Chain A
Amino acid sequence: MADAGPPLLSVRDLRVQFGGAEVVRGVDFDVRQGETVGIVGESGSGKSVTALSIVQLLPYPHARHRTGSIRFAGTELVGAGPAQIRAVRGNRIGMVFQEPMSSLNPLLTIGEQIVEVLRVHRRIDRRAARARALELLELVEIPEARRRLNAYPFELSGGQAQRAMIAIALANEPDLLIADEPTTALDVTVQAQVLGLIAGLQKRFGMALLLITHDLQVVEKMAHRVCVMYDGRIVEHGPVAEVLRTPRHGYTRMLLDARPSGGPATVAKDAPIVVQARGVDVRFPIRTGLFRRVTGYLHAVRNVDLAVRRGQTVAVVGESGSGKTTLGRALLRLQPSGGQIVFGGRSVESLSRQAMRPLRRQMQIVFQDPIGALSPRLRVSEIVGEGLRIHRLGTPSERDRTVAQALEEVGIDPQTRHRYPHEFSGGQRQRIAIARVLVLRPSFIVMDEPTSALDRSVQAQIVDLLRDLQARHALAYLFISHDLSVVRAIADQVLVMKQGVVVEQGSAKDIFSAPRHTYTRALFKAAFDLEAARSGGPASSEAGSAPGPATAPNTPTPVGRP
C-alpha cells in the first residue's frame, strides 16, 4: 500500500450548493495512488455530487462551491480554467456512470466513442486510435471485440455497454477512476463480473479508484477505505473492515442493519389456492422480410406451472430478459398466453376484456418505478381513489374515507393526500402505489420488482410493510425480483427463471439452503458473494484472480501505448 507521499487526490472542506440548498456540507477525504476508496450513502446523501465535483461536472453556475479545495496530483481543480480541467477529464481521471446505456451516445459507434477520447488527449492518427480502441475492448473482455467496434450502444447488452464505458474511461490510462454506482443498473451475475473486471484492471494499471455506491457489499469486496456519507457530510470513515465491524456512527449501523431480515409468514398447508397456472406459455412473433411475415417466435415464457395460496408469497427470480415480468403480466391477463389460468376457482384464460373487468379489482399489480407509476398531474387522493371510482365503489365521501384509511395503513399521513406525487420520496411513493392497490381489497397482487428502485434502508421498510399487509389481509403475492436478499426475507416459494424456463422451483427454505440447478447456484453466488466475479467472465486476466482490493500498484502497463 502506497502510504507514503502526498495523496493523489485531496478533498478539503468541499461544499456544494444548488441555488440556496446546500447538498454537500464540508467534506474532507484523500485518495492515495493505487488505493480504492468507497463512498457509501443513500440517494440524496451528496455522494454523487461529491464525485462530480472532482472533475467539475456540476451544472455551474447553478451549482456553487462556497468553500472547498480539490487537489489532484498537485493541481487545484476547484475553479480551474476550462482548458486545464479538460486536460484532466478523460485523461488523468476517468469516469464510469450508473446507467451505461444512457451514458453512451446512441448515434455513435462504440469504436468512435473510444477513438474520440484518445484523439482529444493524444496526438495519434485515426488508424492508431482504432487499433488502440480494439485493444481496449479486448482488455475489458467484450466478446467479439472487433465486431463490437462498429456496434452501436443499442446493439449491446447492459453489461457490455458498461464494459465499453470502462474502456472509454481507461483509454488514456488515468491515475484515478471514479465509478459512480457502476453496477447498480446491472443484473447480479453481471454486477459481479464488472466489479471483478474493474478490480483487475485497477491492479493492472496501478490506478486509484473512487467507488461511489449505496451497496455496502460492494464496498466490502472492493475498497481499502470507506467514507460513509449522510446528509452532505462524511459521518464516518476508516478502513473498511474496521468500519463495518465496529461502526461508530448511528447511520452506519442503520445501513448495516438495513439489509432486509426476517423470514416469510408461515402458510397453512390447506390454505385455499388463489391463483393456479398450468402450462403458461407466451410467445412473441418475430416478423421479418418485405411483408412482415412471422418467421419465428421469441419464446418468452415456456410452460410454467405455479400456484399461489391465500397469504402466500411466491417469488419469481431471474435476470433481465428471463421472462419473469411477462409471466406476471400473463397471470393478470395483461398478456395473452397459452395454458390455463385459474383465478378464484374460475378459469380466466379465455375471458374477454369485458368479462375480466369485474375480476380486475381482485388482481392488482405494483410496479418497480414508483415515479413512473404515479401520474404527476393527479393528487395522491385521486391516484389512490381512482380504482374505487372506476369500480363504482361507495359514495365520494366513503371513498375519501377509504383512501385515507389505506394511506394510513401504508404509513402515509392521510393529511397529505391532497398533495402531488413529486412532493414525496421514492419510498413514500411506493407506499402510495401500494395503497392504490390496497383500497380495492384485492386477493392477489403481482409485485414487479417493488423494492428495486429504492435505497437499502427503505427496501427493508417496504418489505416489512408488505409482510405486515399480507398477514393482515391474507394477501397472495407473486413477488418478481432479481434481489435475492429481499426474496429470502419475504418468499415462501421460489421459482428460478432463465430464458423463459423455470429451472428450479420449490420452497424458499430448500432452495436457499441447497440450490440444485447450476444457474441457481451461480445466481446465489453472485448475489451473496462477489468472489463469484472470478468464475464470471472468460479469463478475467491473471491480475483479476483476486477481485478484492488491489494490494500494490503494478507499475508496468501491459497495454502498449501506440
Chain B
Amino acid sequence: MLRFLLIRLAQIPIVIAVVSLIVFVFLNASGDPVQLLLPVEASQEDIAQMREALGLDRPLLIRYWEFLVNAVRGDFGMSLRARRPAIDIVLEALPATLELAGAALLIATAISLPLGIMAAVRRNGFIDAAATVISVLGQSMPVFWLGIIMIMVFSVQLGWLPASGRGHWTALIMPAVALGWYMNALMARMTRASMLEVLGQPYIRTARAKGLPEHMVVLKHAFGNARIPIVTIWGLQAGAMLTGTVITETVFSWPGIGRASIYALQGRDYPVVLAAIAVFTVMFLIINLVVDLIYFLLDPRIRRS
C-alpha cells in the first residue's frame, strides 16, 4: 500500500515535466507571439526590443528550464495579453470548471449506474432497449453538436434555460448534460456488460442458493464485483472530461479553464496555456490517484497482496 502510494506520488513530477516539455516545444513551433502582440507596421527594432523584453530571444531549452523552475514555485510568468500572472487567470477560472465537470460527473454516474444495472438484470427487456438507445445516441453525438442543438431547443425555441454564461444554477444544466452525455453512455454500456458477466459467475448462484433476496444478490454480490472494472472507466472518463470542458465551455461561454485556454491559444499567450495545461495535468493525476485508492478499498486481492 505505502510502496504503491509512494510510487504513484513519485510519478507526478515526472509526468508534469514530460507533459510541459511537449507542450512548450509545440507552442513555440506554432508561431511567434510578438507578431500578434505588435501592430503590423512595427519596425524591426520594436520587434527585437519586444522579444528581449519578453525573454523570447534566448534558446528554447533555457527558456523551458527557467519555465520549469518557476512553474514549481507556481510562477508561470505574466500573461502576454492581460499583463497579470498567468496562474491567476487560470486559478480564477478553476472553480467554474470544477463546478461544470463535477456536475457532469454526477449526472453521468447517477444515471448510468442504475441504468446499466437494470439493463443487465432485465436483459432484453424494455429498460435494456432504452439503455441501448441512450448509449448509441450518447456515443454518436459530438459534444459541440449536442450543445448547439440544446441551445436551439431549450434556449431559443422554448426559452427555458439560459444559452450561456454562469451565475444562476439553471445556466449549469445544459453544459453539464452536454459534457456528461458521452460518459453517461459509455458507463451505462460498461456497467451492463460488467454486470452481465458477473451475474453468470458461480458465486451469484451461491448467493441465490443462500436464499438472499434479489436486491442483495444484485447490489451486494453482483454490483460489488462488477463495479471494479467500472471504476477504471470512470477514472479514464473523468480525466477525459477535463479536456471535454474546452469544447463545452466554448459552446456555452462558460468562464472556465477550457475557455480561458482557447482564448490564450488563439492569442499565443503561452504562459496562460502552460499554466492551464499544468493545472489540467495535476487534476488528471489526482483523479488517477483517487481511482487507485478506490481499487484498494474495493478489492481485497489488491489490498492484501
Chain A: residues with CB nearer than 8 A to chain B?
Answer: 55, 57, 82, 85-91, 94-95, 97, 99, 102-109, 116-117, 120-121, 152, 154-155, 165, 168, 289-290
Contacts and interface: CB of A to CB of B under 8 A. Distances in A.
B202 A99 contact: yes
Interface stretch (B45-53, B159-167, B213-221): B213-221
Given A97-B202, A152-B300, A116 B3 contact: no
Interface centre among B207, B210, B225 (most CB of A within 10 A): B210
A105 B224 contact: yes
Contacts of A104: 203, 206
B29 interface: no
A289 B1 CA distance: 10
Nearest to B201: A102
A438 to B, nearest CB: 35
B211 A97 contact: no
A103 B211 contact: no
Contacts of A106: 203, 225, 300-301
Contacts of B210: 89-90, 116-117, 120, 168
Contact of B211 (A108, A121, A165): A121
Contacts of B304: 152, 155
The interface residues of chain A, by DSSP majority, are classed as mixed
B68 to A, nearest CB: 27
Nearest to A83: B213
B209 interface: yes
Given A108-B224, A152-B301, A289-B3, A103 B205 contact: yes
Contacts of A290: 2-3, 6
A287 to B, nearest CB: 11
A116 B301 contact: no
B54 interface: no
Interface in B92-127: none
Contact of B209 (A55, A87, A99, A121): A55
A82 B210 CA distance: 13
B32 interface: no
A176 to B, nearest CB: 12
A211 to B, nearest CB: 16
Given A95-B206, A102-B203, 4 more contacts: A109-B300, A116-B212, A116-B216, A117-B211
Nearest to A172: B211
B197 interface: no
B202 to A, nearest CB: 4
Interface in B112-162: none
Contacts of A120: 210-213, 216
A53 B2 CA distance: 49
Contacts of B6: 290
Nearest to B298: A107
Contacts of B3: 289-290
A540 B203 CA distance: 28
Given A89-B208, A97-B205, A103-B202, A154 B301 contact: yes
A309 to B, nearest CB: 44
A57 B208 contact: yes
Contact of A95 (B209, B214, B224, B299): B209
B214 A82 contact: yes
11 contacts: A86-B211, A90-B212, A91-B211, A97-B206, A99-B202, A105-B224, A106-B300, A106-B301, A107-B225, A120-B216, A152-B304
